[in-house]
Amino acid sequence: MKVAPDLQEFLAAYLLEAEEHVAVANAQLLTLEASRHRGENNPKAVREIFRALHTIKGLSAMVGVEAIVTIAHRLELLLRECERAAAGVSLQGLDALLHGVGEIRARLTALSRGEQPAQPDAPLLARLESTEVTDQAPPAPAPPTIDLEPELLEKLAPFEVEQLLKAAASAQRAIVCEFFPTPDRSARGLSISSVRERVAKVAEIVKVLPRAVPVTPESPGGLAFVLIVLTSATDAELAEAVGVDPATLRVLQAQLPVIVETAAAESKRSALTEFEDEAFGEGLRKGIVRVDVARLDDAMEGLSALIVTRFRLARVIADLKQQGVNTRELSYILADNARQLRDLRAAIVRVRMVPVSELLERVPLLVRGLCRTTNRLVRLEVEGGGAELDKAVSERLFPVIVHLVRNAVDHGIETPDERVRRGKPEEGFLRIVAGTRSNTRLELTLTDDGRGIDAAAVARKARREPPANDAELLEMLCLPGFSTREVATTTSGRGVGMEIVKRVVVGELGGELELRTEFGKGTSFILRVPLTISIVDAFIFESAGQRFVVPVAIVEEIVELERARAVEVPGQAADAELHLIVRRGQAMPVLELAQVLRLNLEKSHAANAIVVRRAGTPIAFGVDRMLGQQEVVIRPMNDVLTRLPGISGATDLGDGRPTLVLDLVALGSATPSRTERVGG
């Protein structure tokens, strides 16, 4: 018998899925708030939130994360209260719910960092317990009327009936259609899940119900699915989506026999054990695999090894050709191989892409929180479009967006009173638009209609001449430590300013940052960043007072020169500049990096050596000091520089200055003649 599995192995998958449910809960809470704003109740959203939290609770219990189980459970109790009271959720109720979901997210983040999530403290639990979660007056339920079979009608929740009635008043039609599953259809991929997915493209699904039917050749399973939908599509379009004859569709009449659901019937339906359709639910997630980014990095590393092998192969073929061997066939294969490797690389890069909408999905929540703390009214519009970008870029960009949104709400958009005084609408406007440019860059624009930036005031504070244009103004704003507020406010400022934004966008990602502002009218920030970047784990070291970076993957070992056994080169004085050291019985030359790169030798004293292997032969490069190891983003250098052998790009280590990324293997092959000269 197999050994029982350790459920802790599911922790990584748990974190990913729980994060999705948290996103659903947050989005639905905001929907609920929007409904409340319009004076409407939204039981559908309440159920969605409940369901998300219930799943989080169950999953957390399975992997033993009790802290989250406790919080999710308290939130569920609040939601049950909302549901039972049949009244709208209160503002403090919404706050408590959002706060609780935030607490869950914080614990998921802690877990993903390998930390133990904190147990919820007493004030948090007290807040979740004592909140008056509903408003007082419950909205009067509208008596629903609809010509649906009683056994189907009784399965619809009151708000679903209402949905049908509302649509009847608009241009949409309420239609009932049936789908009969058969083994044959199933074999052709026609299942209720795929039918739902297709129908969701042409109609809004109100409800899907199973109905037992007599076993016939048409319905061998004795089962039919009844789909109740709202649509403005034609019968033919809908029938095609379901895969049935248009004649079998039935249009629901809205005001025929009157069936009034009593209060008792309603409370029976309101138990939170039932949840309605989500047209774009599980169906759309089908065929999607979630992968840990580390696994993709492994794939990319494997690919790099393949490319190195290809270079070796190319060299051998070139040698053969020189010896007069006919290598035509081999050259064709090599060319094919190169194309295949390029395709493979593109395929792996595509896997790393995430929709930009994912990056922007937390913005509404952020804006909401900022509005509450700064007493602003803000209408937010987010257009993510279909653009996709590298997960690594997305992760780096997120704090930048948070910063710019904070600035816009806190410094840009005026208080409602001030706006009215200036003849602007009470509600400020913040718009974020993302789109791709030339398939390689993402352009992200954040625009507010606030007070704009006072260039003269900025210049005074920076003690400089007033800027001539927006570009110069941006330069000033990005000066280290610059902040437009004298006093750091709760929401922004605190010493970290636009400097960070510029460092990430320009320094780390190699992108562009642009500012357009009109004093009194508003401000736009435009960010253009590459859609993909390459990230490697790298050693940082110093040579002749300069810092360099080398990818960890090419380093075989790091040697302390004092301890390594130095061997005298025959025919050379002991203090000559070419040394040999012996590692594991193999002698290898030590090249002074400062000398190879023609740096200031007086400043250099090689204490360590970095060993790399070129065509099987080890070479050691003497460097002054090892400074550490970190992940760096490598930006390719401009064309002139990349032709320099041994320099594969530049990176920003966080100080805003470019640091060269060295390819020591290539440097090793570029230098023998020079070392001979040095040695001679």
Partner 1 sequence: MSAILVVDDSKVMREMVIACLRALPGSHFTQASSGLEAIERLSLAPFDAIVLDLNMPDVNGEEVLQFVRGQDRLRSLPILIVTTRDDDGARERVLKAGASAFLAKPFTPEGIIAAVRAILPGGAESSA
Binding site for partner 1 (CB under 8 A): 1-5, 7, 9-10, 13-14, 17, 51, 54-55, 57-59, 61-62, 64, 73, 76, 155, 181-183, 186, 191-193, 196, 207-210, 212, 221-223, 225, 273-278, 281-282, 286
Provide the pairing of β-strand 428-437 with 378-383: parallel
Beta carbon of residue 55, minimum distance to partner 1 (angstroms, whole number): 5
Nearer to partner 1, 51 or 424 (CB): 51
- C-beta of 64 vs 545, nearer to partner 1: 64
Nearer to partner 1, 214 or 481 (CB): 214
Q: 517: buried, middle or exposed (CB in 10 Å: 19+, 13-18, 0-12)? A: buried
Q: Which of 362, 499, 360, 517 is nearest to 450 (CA)?
A: 517
**Neighbour tally for 267: CB within 10 Å:** 12
Least Cβ distance, residue 348 to partner 1 (angstroms) = 24
CB of 327 to partner 1, least distance (A): 51
CB of 394 to partner 1, least distance (A): 23
Nearest to 481 by CA among 506, 456, 503, 512: 503
Can you tell me the distance from the alpha carbon of 196 to that of 241, in angstroms, rounded to the nearest whole number?
9
Residue 406, amino acid: R
Place of tokens 């941006």: 474
Tell me if residue 436 falls in helix, strand or coil.
Answer: strand
**Which is closer to partner 1, CB of 281 or CB of 385?**
281
Instruction: Report the length, in residues, of the chain.
Output: 680
Smallest distance from partner 1 to CB 344, Å: 28
Residue with Cβ nearer partner 1 (273 or 439): 273
Q: Please, which residue, 54 or 424, has the CB nearer to partner 1?
A: 54
Min dist. Cβ of residue 274 to partner 1 (A): 5
| CA dist., res. 358 & res. 351, Å (int) | 15
Say whether 71 sits in a helix, a strand or coil.
helix
- In the complex with partner 1, which residue's Cβ is closer, 79 or 623? 79
Question: Per-residue b/e over 41-52, b at no fewer than 16 CB within 10 Å?
Answer: bbbbbbbbbbbb
The SS3 of residue 630 is strand
Indicate if the alpha-carbon torsion angle 195, 201, 358, 505 is positive or negative: positive
Nearest residue to 450 (alpha-carbon basis) of 493, 402, 418:
418
Q: What phi and psi values does residue 261 have, to the nearest 5 degrees?
A: -75, 125
Q: What is the C-alpha separation between 5 and 349, in angstroms, rounded?
A: 33
- Shortest Cβ 202–partner 1 spacing (Å): 18
Residue (of 645, 678, 643, 679) closest to 663 by Cα position: 645
Nearer CB in complex with partner 1: 11/307: 11
Helices (H), 131-157: 150-153
Q: Residue 125, CB half-sphere, CA atoms under 13 Å: how many?
A: 11
Per DSSP, the three-state class of 5 is coil
What token pair was written down for 503? 């460092």
d(CA 356, CA 343): 24
Terminal Cα-to-Cα distance of the chain (whole angstroms): 72
Nearer to partner 1, 77 or 318 (CB): 77
User: Whole-number minimum distance, CB 615 to partner 1, in Å?
Assistant: 46
The distance of closest approach from Cβ of residue 183 to partner 1 in the complex, given in angstroms and rounded to an integer, is: 5
Q: Which is nearer to partner 1, 196 or 403 (CB)?
A: 196
Nearer to partner 1, 183 or 571 (CB): 183
Q: Which is nearer to partner 1, 2 or 563 (CB)?
A: 2
**Do 148 and 176 contact (CB within 8 A), yes or no?**
yes
Give min distance, CB of 61 to partner 1, in A.
4
Of residues 222 and 545, the one with the C-beta less far from partner 1: 222
The secondary element (H helix, E strand) that includes residue 206 is strand 204-212
SS3 for 549? Answer: strand
Q: How far is the CB of 339 from partner 1 (least distance, A)?
A: 36
Please, what sign has the CA dihedral across residues 158, 161, 166, 172?
Answer: positive
Rounded least distance, CB 124 to partner 1, Å: 19
Q: Which is nearer to partner 1, 272 or 314 (CB)?
A: 272
**Min dist. Cβ of residue 92 to partner 1 (A):** 24
- Cα dihedral across residues 319, 325, 330, 331: positive or negative: positive
- Nearest distance from C-beta of residue 333 to partner 1, angstroms: 42
